[in-house]
Amino acid sequence: MIPFSFHFSIEYGIRSTGYKFGLVLNSCQRTLQLLSDDMFAFVVFIRSVKLALSENHYLEINRFGSFARQRENCDSKFYVDGEEYFRDLHSELLKAKKEVFITDWMLTPFFVLLRPNSMDSESRLDRVLTTIAQRGVKVNIVIFLEPKLALNNDSEHAKQYL
């Protein structure tokens, strides 16, 4: 395998390779020299590589020198701090109609999603999940079990409680 990258190049012919039907593929990681006895196969291979190069969007130099294009019309949002994120999370959880999937390594069932916080708040994570589950939303939670010697996130308590 030879990956396409900004540094990818293809050279062929006697001047570049020393062989009539010689081909050299260069990338930032390796150089691959190919030889052929069949002119037809040689031409088809070169055309295939050039077509793949012309259709590969990851070879363009994009914003900040990135290999990937800037996405447009994508449904993502950047958060500066947690308050806005947890407000949006609370709102989206309450909008759920079928399923909710949560994966966490330090899930706290009593975490209050909306500020100002209070332990009797209806925006506590466990209460929000109970509310949507009572509406028929399937709630799926995966909590990673931490090594007790390194961390004590009390994942066993969260698992039992939820």
Domains of the chain, residue spans: 9-62, 82-161
Q: Is it true that the peptide bond before 116 is cis, omega within 30 degrees of 0?
A: yes
Residue 159 has pLDDT above 90, yes or no: no
Q: SS3 of 89, please?
A: helix
pLDDT at residue 106, rounded to an integer: 81
| 20-34 confidence digits (pLDDT tens) | 999 999 888 888 898
pLDDT at residue 119, rounded to an integer: 74
Q: What is the pTM of this model?
A: 0.54
| 70-120 confidence digits (pLDDT tens) | 778 887 888 988 899 999 999 999 999 999 999 988 888 888 999 887 777
- HEC letters along 1-19: CCCCCCCCEEEECHHHHCC
Residue 142 has pLDDT above 70, yes or no: yes
